[in-house]
A and B are shown apart, each in its own frame.
Chain A
Amino acid sequence: MGNTAQESKTSRRGFLKALTVGAVATCSGAVFESARAERTYPEQKGKHRFVYVIDVRKCIGCDACVAACKAERNTPLGVFNTWVEKWEVGYTDPNTGETRVKVLNVPKLCNHCENPPCVKVCPVHATYRDENDGLVLQRYERCIGCRLCEQACPYGVRYIDPIMVVMNKCTWCDHRVRNGLKPACVEVCPTKAREFGDLSDPNDPIWELLNNNSIQVLKPEEGTKPRVFYIGLEAIEGMYVGTGSSTKNQHSPAIWTDPADGKVYTYNVRMQTNKFRELR
């Protein structure tokens, strides 16, 4: 009788052990599998496939887009959804000694990446990629304000909204583009340096721009697959541009030699001024 009780106790213990080990293995397997799956996002295949094209050769740096964005999205003081950087590119041909300088106005905004690092790190899925059109958007009512997305974003486009006190970002004016309009910044651009289109539509004029020009993206080495395409940044973006600026309190211009053709570029970069950062 004692033996039977002992045996049944032993078998129960063994069963419980096996059950615990099995449960732990299943749960950890599921966790690892989901984590692996979420490391890289699959290609977005929705009804729409919005892309944004910026031709820096056409941009005159009038900041009308910045003003339009502030008005359309009611963006508070001290934060920007879009801004225009001024890059001074000096170029010397070592063969002729001839020096040329050109100024590029480089508009920046959220890249609505296909593989968005901000979505991956969000602990509550407040930032998400809309599978229907590929827009990377924010659920304001769910955001906890940990600012992990801001740290993860390599483009520095995310910010804490001083009024809502949660993360906010450029939405490519989702309220407009989903109703057949273009984003406010595209609409106001006087030189058509900013273009917006839908790759799922074969007749969209954006295809012509993309097919006829050399296209660059910002920080391709980050593997984020950005969907803001730049025209006119050949051999410029993607390489190191140094801490250069000509104004006081700043470093002397950085010099970079292109090993391919021996040309020397110097850079002065002037960013959007923001004297109200502490408002956040």
Chain B
Amino acid sequence: MIETHGPTLPNHIVEWTVLIVTYPFFSGIVAGSTIITALVYLFGFKNLQHLERVGHFLALSLLLVAPLAPMFDLTMPIRALFVPFYPNIASPIFLFFVLWNLLLVIMLLKSYFLLRRDFVERAKEGDLFGKIAGVLTFGAKEINPEEDEKKVKLFGIISVPLAMLFTSYVGFLLSSMHSIPLWGTPMVILVFLASAVVSGIGAAMLVYIVGQYILGEKVDVNNLRVPTIILAAFAGVDLLLFLLELVLEWYWNTAEWSLISMAMKANFFFYLVKIVGLLFVFIGGLSSLNRSLSGITILSVVSLIAVYAVRWTLVIPGQMIDKGHRGIVYPHIKLIGREGVSEVIALYFLAFFLFLLFVSIAGWKSASHKEEVV
């Protein structure tokens, strides 16, 4: 039975739960990992190229899985295909459709030029993945690495603002709901952006470290210091934005403050995880933790947990506040079924599977990297 507190409108339930929490988490990682792309191609941190490659695989797999979360959330999932056929330009979902398609095209183009050389090399091996790689070369046989890198740089730079727009779209969607006190503020967009950077860098570093560990290769900690410091800085910005948002809510929504605080108390655990986690990443990332591999690994894990809590606190408490502004409705989280936790777990597995597939076809390391090692 759905619990309520105080008088609530009879039709009100918390409609969007774990799937809609997961969607901005995925899209945030996509956007955040492009920060490493920007570091490599805009700021010239060439020693981060391997991390950028791993981040790119992660971003591409999550970009493909991310729309499945809101799609599974639909009561009529297959009708999601109606969106381009009956477009309503004023709807935030149409914006999502445009941005997702644009970003996908750019990311695929970047993938092609980034991995073309690997595909050509891989196609020489006769196994299944070699054959797939052969198809993915699209007939290219002789590659000029310098030309390709220029194109990778171009598409990489385009993908940075596009991915940021893509993730801030959810913030745009929530902030356009004027009738819901915790959402109807432009601060939401900034919180989405800052936490996207935190989770994106954290996820890319974690996958990179775990991958290198599994393959028995060494990780150069000095290379990871710059992304760790950026991670810490953005965790600080995220925390600051959250506090600012809290003050804004308290100041502007004075009338609804009792309800807002009630909804926040109901999600106290997530707020605690968010504040403690972001504070730990902020302080730890700027301290001596960024000099050790274990320290960076812990920071990455904590950043991901903290950002998941950020997503939860952005999506759930706002919906709990009743439209009549007199009570709150508690969310009803199912384990199995539509909008259940099982669907979220399935999405994680799917993303992991896609990541493994990309790594299997293109290789964990680039061909040029292998040459250098030889």
A124 interfacial by beta-carbon distance below 8 Å: yes
Report how far A251 CA is from B326 CA in the complex, Å. Answer: 9
Using a Cβ–Cβ cut-off of 8 Å, how many residues does chain B contribute to the interface with A?
52
Please give, as numbers and ranges, the residues of chain A lying within 8 Å of B73 by CB-CB distance.
Answer: 146
**Residues on A with beta carbons closer than 8 Å to the beta carbon of B88:** 38, 120, 122-125
Closest to A240 in B: B255
Interface string of A121-132 (1 = CB under 8 A from B): 111111000000
Instruction: Check if A143 sits within 8 Å of B326, measured CB to CB.
Output: no
A interface residues, tally (CB under 8 Å): 59
Give the residue name and chain of the A residue nearest to B327 (CB): A243
Complex Cα–Cα for A152 and B89 (A): 16
B1 within 8 A of A: yes
Task: Give the CA-CA distance A99 to B285 in the complex, in Å.
Answer: 62
State A157–B91 Cα separation when bound (angstroms): 20
Q: Which residues of B contact A124 (CB under 8 A)?
A: 79, 82-83, 85-88
Among the listed stretches B177-185, B226-234, B340-348, which one makes contact with chain A, having 4 or more residues with CB under 8 Å of it?
Answer: B177-185
Question: Please, how many angstroms separate the alpha-carbon atoms of A249 and B4 in the complex?
Answer: 10
Contact A277 to B13, CB < 8 A, known contacts A125-B86, A156-B324: yes
Given contacts A271-B10, A277-B13, contact A165 B323 (CB under 8 A): no
Q: Does B336 contact A (CB under 8 A)?
A: no
Q: Is the CB of A156 within 8 A of B11?
A: yes
Asked, given contacts A222-B178, A250-B6, A251-B258, whether A121 binds B11 with beta carbons under 8 Å apart, the answer is: no
Interface positions, chain B 148-191, Cβ under 8 Å from A, are: 173, 176-180
Given that A38-B90, A123-B94, A222-B179 are contacting pairs, would A145 and B79 also be in contact in the complex, using a CB cutoff of 8 Å? yes
Q: Name A80's contact: one of B10, B80, B180 (CB within 8 Å).
A: B10
Does B92 sit within 8 A of A, measured CB to CB? yes
Contacts A125-B88, A152-B179; is A166 near B13 (CB within 8 Å)? no
Binary flags per residue of B32-74, CB closer than 8 Å to A gives 1, else 0:
0000000000000000000000000000000000000010011
Assess A271 versus B92: contact at CB under 8 Å? Given A154-B178, A240-B325: no
Q: Are A35 and B90 in contact, CB atoms less than 8 angstroms apart?
A: yes
Determine the main DSSP class of A at the interface with B.
loop
B75 nearest CB neighbor, chain A only: A145
B9 near A: Cβ within 8 Å? yes
- Which residue of the partner chain, among A121, A146, A160, A219, contacts B90 with CB atoms under 8 Å? A121
Tally of A-B residue pairs with Cβ under 8 A? 160
B179: chain A residues at CB < 8 Å are: 117, 152-154, 219, 222
The verdict on A31 contacting chain B, using a C-beta distance below 8 Å, is yes
Q: Do the beta carbons of A83 and B92 come within 8 Å of each other?
A: no
Residue B293 lies at the interface, judged by CB distance under 8 Å to chain A: no
Q: Are A146 and B74 in contact (CB under 8 A)?
A: yes
In the complex, per-residue mask of B98-136: 1 if CB is within 8 Å of any chain A CB, else 0:
000000000000000000000000000000000000000
Instruction: Name the residue of chain B whose CB is nearest to the CB of A157.
Output: B11
- A58 proximal to B (CB < 8 A): no
Nearest CB in chain B to that of A218: its residue? B324
- State in angstroms the CA–CA spacing of A272 and B10 once bound together: 6
Query: Within the assembled complex, what's the spacing in Å between the Cα atoms of A123 and B2?
Result: 29
Is A270 a contact partner of B7 (Cβ separation < 8 A)?
yes
- Tell whether, in the assembled complex, residue B7 and residue A280 are in contact, meaning their CB atoms are under 8 Å apart: no
Interfacial chain A residues near B373, Cβ < 8 Å = none
Residues from chain A with a CB closer than 8 A to the CB of B365 are none
- Asked if B332 and A278 sit within 8 Å, CB to CB, the answer is yes
Contact partner of A243 (CB less than 8 A), chosen from B75, B173, B177, B258, is: B258
Q: Is the CB of B16 within 8 A of A147?
A: yes
- Judging by beta carbons under 8 Å apart, are A144 and B8 in contact? no
Q: How far is the CA of A158 from the CA of B85 in the complex (A)?
A: 24
Q: Is B374 interfacial (CB-CB < 8 Å)?
A: no
Is A156 within 8 A of B79, CB to CB? Answer: no
Kindly list chain B residues whose C-beta atoms are within 8 Å of the C-beta of A144: 74-76, 79-80, 82-83
Q: Are B6 and A243 neighbours in the complex by a CB distance under 8 Å?
A: yes
Scan A235-264; emit 1 where CB is below 8 A from any B CB, else 0: 000001111110001110000000000000
CB neighbours (8 Å) of B173 from chain A are: 148
A273 to B11 alpha-carbon distance, docked (Å):
10
In whole angstroms, how far apart are the Cα atoms of A216 and B10 in the complex? Answer: 23
With a cutoff of 8 Å between Cβ atoms, the chain B residues found around residue A269 in the complex are 7, 324, 326
Q: How far is the CA of A272 from the CA of B322 in the complex (A)?
A: 13
Further pairs besides A152-B179, A156-B9: 4, Cβ < 8 Å: A79-B11, A241-B325, A273-B10, A277-B329
Can you list 10 A-B pairs with a CB-CB distance of less than 8 A?
A: A123-B83, A143-B76, A144-B82, A147-B75, A148-B91, A148-B92, A154-B179, A165-B76, A271-B8, A278-B332
